[in-house]
Amino acid sequence: MATLSFLCYREYARITGLFRERTISLIVVIGILFITFAALDNWYRLFVALFPLTVALIATGGLIPDQPKGYIQRVGLGVLGFALFGSALGNLGYMANDWNYRPILLLIIFAVELNDIFAYICGYLFGHRKFVPNTSPNKTVAGALGAIVLTTPLFALGAHFVWFGTALDTPVRLLGLGVIVSVVGQFGDLMLSSIKRDLGLKDTAKLIPGHGGILDRFDSLILVAPAMFHYVNYFVGFAAGQPQRIFSGWEI
């Protein structure tokens, strides 16, 4: 997960030009390292504390060049970068602390990828009305709705087996989770389209032939991770009964 976060952040920093701001970039990278540690350590309090603390550090690090012109842009980009690739993707890493982590992660990744495919197929078959023509001209209303209609029950079915017999295992709650994954997944896709369109780029990098960069592949996952994490956390909780603070838990 840390590797994925770093690769995504690297592409983001290069397309936005944030990589030229060495101090802010370094703080974001350190933040991602700490988030990874908190997830590995199963230390929820640190995990939660890291977002405001890193934002404060980025805002402080932005002062170092002593150049107020562009301060808001530099710090804003740094905070967005950490929020998306450190904090949001970190939620996916934290989910891996659950004893049942394999089906959970597989379910999310499959659902998000299927969601994209359903949107494409429904848009191709029934799409007439453009959804957000300025952001992404190929997206249609039918595609978006079709993806929600198809992904939600499939995801709910999968989730029923993953969280069998828990507080989450009621039809309404499972369908609610399905809708969240589908809708938020599509927003993640649109978010990256907006970022790329703002910068006038087609792909974020040329790493995988025919696919663009890592960020182009994992865009839908970025927003799904925190939305789903906190929804499930509200009803069931992650890593219940697992040892806490595995590495840092020794007494002084």
Partner 1 sequence: MEPWKLEPARDTGLTPSERFRSVRRESGLLESLAHHVCFSMLRSYFAIAHRLTIIGRDKLPAHGPFVLAANHCSHLDALILGAALTPRHRERAFPIAAGDVFFQSNVTSTFSAIMLNALPMWRKNCGPHALADLRRKLQEEKAIFIIFPEGGRSRTGSMMPFKHGLGMLVAQTNVPVVPCGLVGTFEALPPHRRLPQPVAIKLVLGDALQFASTANDRTGWSQIAAQVESSVGDLVTQSRTA
Instruction: Give 63 or 157: the residue with its C-beta nearer to partner 1.
Output: 63
No. of helices (H) and no. of strands (E), the chain: 9, 0
Q: What is the 3-state secondary structure (H, E, C) of 92-106?
A: HHHHCCCCCHHHHHH
> For residue 18, what is the DSSP state?
G
Helix axes 141-162, 101-126, angle to 10 degrees: 160
For residue 111, give both structure tokens: 């659902």
| Closer residue to partner 1 (CB): 66 or 251 | 66
CB of 66 to partner 1, least distance (A): 8
Q: Measured from the CB of residue 194, what is the shortest distance to partner 1 in angstroms?
A: 13
Residues with Cβ within 8 Å of residue 101, at least 6 apart in sequence? 95
* Binder among 65, 169, 179, 231 for partner 1 (CB under 8 A): 65
Q: Which stretch binds partner 1 (CB under 8 A): 32-40, 65-73, 158-166, 243-251?
A: 65-73
Query: Please, what is the minimum distance in Å from the beta carbon of residue 202 to partner 1?
Result: 8
Q: Is 45 in the site for partner 1 (CB under 8 A)?
A: no
- Cα 179 from Cα 127, distance rounded (Å): 20
Distance of CA 126 to the CA centre of its chain: 29
Question: Who contacts 198 (Cβ-Cβ below 8 Å, separation ≥6)?
Answer: none
Scan residues 186-225 and list those touching partner 1 (CB under 8 A): 198-199, 201, 203, 205-207
Euclidean distance between CA atoms 125 and 15, whole angstroms: 34
The mark string for 1-40 relative to partner 1 (x by CB under 8 A, - otherwise) is: ---------x--xxxxx-xx-x--xx--x-----------
70 lies in the binding site for partner 1 (CB under 8 A): yes
Q: Applying CB under 8 A, what is the total number of residues that bind partner 1?
A: 25
DSSP state for residue 138 in the 8-state scheme: T
Q: Whose Cβ is closer to partner 1: residue 17's or residue 133's? A: 17
- Cβ at position 34, least distance to partner 1 in Å: 16
- Residues near partner 1 (CB under 8 A) are 10, 13-17, 19-20, 22, 25-26, 29, 65, 67, 69-70, 73-74, 198-199, 201, 203, 205-207
